[in-house]
Amino acid sequence: MKSESKIDWTVPRPNKNPKTKQPYKRGRNWAIVVYPESLPENWKDIIRQEPIAVSPLHDKDVNPDGEKKKAHYHLVLNYKGNKSFEQIDEIARSLRAPAPQRISSLTGAVRYLTHMDNPEKYQYDSSNIQTFGGFDLENCLALSTGDKRQALRDMLAFLFLKIIFCI
């Protein structure tokens, strides 16, 4: 049974970054956290046209004190052009979600959908990431040019050592 909230989801929220207390600038990449018990039944229909990636249900996360966190999904939105806080907040409010946050690293946010770079956290299966609206998940998870160069350096160093010590 869904719990009824006393929040008026029709009222726009102030554009204020909780960390800096400054308004968010327009941006291409945004994140929203949603909670299953608050979501409308048609929530996937609401987001279907948006360029969005949805995490697996995070139902195994724990706080540093060991207490289990409330189950939630992470949503990452990636647009070709800039969107305002107000535009993204309209989506968040339609999902009955907390205020959206602008993200600086699309790749980092997408990798966080399954905690790829956080081995101390529960590792969710990346095959359970859902995408809508043409979101390019494969491109977001691909190695960067710098990562590829480092991998090539590592391979060359390994081969060099093999050659030196095998002769």
pLDDT in tens, the chain (167 residues): 455 558 899 999 999 998 999 999 999 999 999 999 999 999 999 999 999 999 999 999 999 899 999 999 999 999 999 999 999 999 999 999 999 999 999 999 999 999 998 999 999 999 999 999 999 998 888 766 776 777 788 888 888 777 777 75
Whether the CB-CB separation of 77 and 88 falls below 8 Å is answered with: yes
* Nearest 10 degrees: Cα torsion 33, 38, 42, 43: -10
With tokens 């390019």, the residue in question is 136
Express the helix, strand and coil content of the chain in percent, nearest 5 each.
30, 20, 50
How far apart are alpha carbons 45 and 66 in whole angstroms?
35
Q: Which whole-number Å values give the CA distances from 166 to 29, 128, 152, 158, 162, in the listed order?
A: 50, 44, 21, 12, 6
In one-letter notation, the amino acid at residue 31 is A
